[in-house]
Amino acid sequence: MKNLKIHFMGIGGIGMSAIANLCLQKGAKVTGCDLSFNKQTIKLQQANVTIELGHNLKHIQMYQPDILVHSSAVPPHNEELQYAKDNNIEVLSRASMLARLLIDKSTIAVSGSHGKTTTTGIISEILLGLNYDPSVMIGGVSPVLGSNFRYGQGDFFVSEVDESDGSLLHIHPQATLCTNIDMEHLDFYRDWAHIEEVFLNFFKQTDVSGVLVGWGEDIRIRRLFASADIKSFYYGFEKFNDLQIVNAQYFKEGSRCDLILNNKIFKDVNVSLAGKHNLLNAVGAIGLLYNLGIELEKTIIFLAKLSGVKRRFEAKGIYNGAKIIEDYAHHPKEICATLDVASLYSPKRIVVVFQPHRYTRVQGLYQEFITCFKQANTVVLMDIYSANEEPIAGISSQALAKDIKKTFNGEVYHIPNSNAVVDFVKSYIRPNDMVLFLGAGDIGRLSDMIADVNQQLY
């Protein structure tokens, strides 16, 4: 890869920027373009990567790359893509480029509808703490890495893999962890059968001498693992799991439980990330590492000092005595899990500011969105973040707000304008409130506009 010229279309995406950085670490000459600049593009520019604003045929003509890598957001008729294909420039999807980076490593793939990023971060933290010097590709910014990537000299490459467009089928791991399988990414998947088909084909691509590790209470995971005919290992709360969680307790600081493995009890295991979902993520991580030959006695101790990942219940600061939190939650089940954690703090009021993400998701999960805010006191809906989708008739935040009001006990507001949301929140919140900014779009900048970062949340 040394001295290869690689141009990235959509280089500012969290996954694309990580892959671009990894290519840079391996000696490639990287350039890129995107529709806007962000924290990821700024960091790349600081590493002397030239990044153009917008998509333009001139970029390819100017840089004449050996490889053009494109994100799934780039439409197939794009003139840059077409020019590259017509001029014998190798064109790769994001996942195909990632697969190429994984070739000389022992790949640990973290899959699932929810929890991939946090679980990838946990595995990475433990391997770093045990001096395995792993390479990492993660769909978020890890405080431990200080980034969303790491290129190490060790054998392991820990990678979050993306099911949103089926691109995980480019990956052939040595070990696979699946956190859960849910109805999600309805812009790509037709139905449950389609979702299960893609996951099963991916599981079958795990090395025959490897292992599939999954949450045992997810019946789809169990059924698909059985069909994949590869060694499987389950973790969870029920007795049938290989690694069983018992006596779980949840606190705002995290959780505590006992673990049972091969009839041996590991007492008082502490996890520093709050919520039942994060307890599962942590136990899944050490379950996978156990199957790679790393004993639980060595991995458990790291669970008490995990740093998490940015935009996952991330404390942004204080405003008017209220705690300001940002979270990537954009699916009803993720929203419920985030509200579970918020309730552990016993705030006076939980105020949710939510930016729905994609018209297709809101349409496909409409009833679930109506009922997922029950633990909140106030809900503020911003307009739907389209992610380049065309609007769908009858699907809007205004309509959603109206339907939430029918069964919701608190206050519901539809405020489409970002500045108006900021003004509303500043005037509305009171001491001891907790404000959650939720969504996968650009809502995070609003929490930055409100929070006083000089005041510590905890």
Same domain, 202 and 75: no
Residue 1 scores a pLDDT above 90: no
Question: What is the rounded CA–CA span in Å between residue 162 and residue 327?
Answer: 19
376-410 residue pLDDT tens: 999 999 999 998 889 999 999 999 999 999 999 99
Interstrand relation of 350-354 and 378-381 (parallel, antiparallel or unpaired): parallel
The pLDDT of residue 442 is 87
Confidence of residue 458 (pLDDT cuts 50, 70, 90): very low
Same domain, 140 and 225: yes
Is pTM, for the whole model, over 0.85? Answer: yes
- Does residue 181 belong to any structural domain of this protein? yes
Q: Are 140 and 14 in contact (CB under 8 A)?
A: yes
Same domain, 185 and 200: yes
- Does residue 458 belong to any structural domain of this protein? no
- Does residue 36 belong to any structural domain of this protein? yes
Residue 159: domain span: 102-305
Q: Among 426, 441, 428, which Cα is nearest to 326's? A: 441
110-144 residue pLDDT tens: 999 999 999 999 999 999 999 999 999 898 888 99
The pLDDT of residue 457 is 45
The pLDDT of residue 452 is 64
Question: What is the rounded CA–CA span in Å between residue 68 and residue 77?
Answer: 15
Helix or strand or coil: residue 388? coil
242-298 residue pLDDT tens: 999 999 999 999 999 999 999 999 999 999 999 999 999 999 999 999 999 999 999
- Among 97, 130, 154, the domain-final residue is 97
Interstrand relation of 378-381 and 411-414 (parallel, antiparallel or unpaired): parallel
For 149, the token pair is 């990537």
Name 69's bridge partners. Answer: 8, 92
Same domain, 12 and 74: yes
Same domain, 338 and 296: no
Residue 306 scores a pLDDT above 90: yes
> How many Cβ atoms from other residues are within 10 Å of residue 279's Cβ?
23
Same domain, 263 and 333: no
Same domain, 48 and 117: no
Helix or strand or coil: residue 128? helix
CATH classification of the domain holding 154: 3.40.1190.10
Count of the separate structural domains present in the chain = 3
Residue 356 scores a pLDDT above 80: yes
- Among 286, 305, 324, the domain-final residue is 305
- Does residue 456 belong to any structural domain of this protein? no
- As a whole number, mean pLDDT of residues 96-114 equals 91
19-65 residue pLDDT tens: 999 899 889 999 999 888 888 899 999 999 999 998 888 989 999 99
- Among 305, 327, 348, the domain-final residue is 305
Same domain, 28 and 106: no
Of the chain, the percentage scoring pLDDT greater than 90 comes to: 76
- Does residue 443 belong to any structural domain of this protein? yes
Same domain, 217 and 148: yes
Same domain, 131 and 106: yes
The pLDDT of residue 387 is 85
Q: Among 309, 348, 371, 359, which Cα is nearest to 147's? A: 309
Helix or strand or coil: residue 244? strand
CA distances from 384 to 10, 317, 364, 416 (A): 21, 26, 14, 9
- Does residue 241 belong to any structural domain of this protein? yes
- Does residue 250 belong to any structural domain of this protein? yes
For 295, the token pair is 């004993």
CATH classification of the domain holding 14: 3.40.50.720
The pLDDT of residue 15 is 84
- As a whole number, mean pLDDT of residues 296-321 equals 93
Question: What is the rounded CA–CA span in Å between residue 159 and residue 154?
Answer: 14
179-232 residue pLDDT tens: 999 999 999 999 999 999 999 999 999 999 999 999 999 999 999 999 998 999
Which amino acid is it at 122? I
214: phi then psi, degrees, rounded to nearest 5: -150, 160
For 274, the token pair is 């709050």
CA distances from 8 to 77, 92, 165 (A): 16, 10, 18
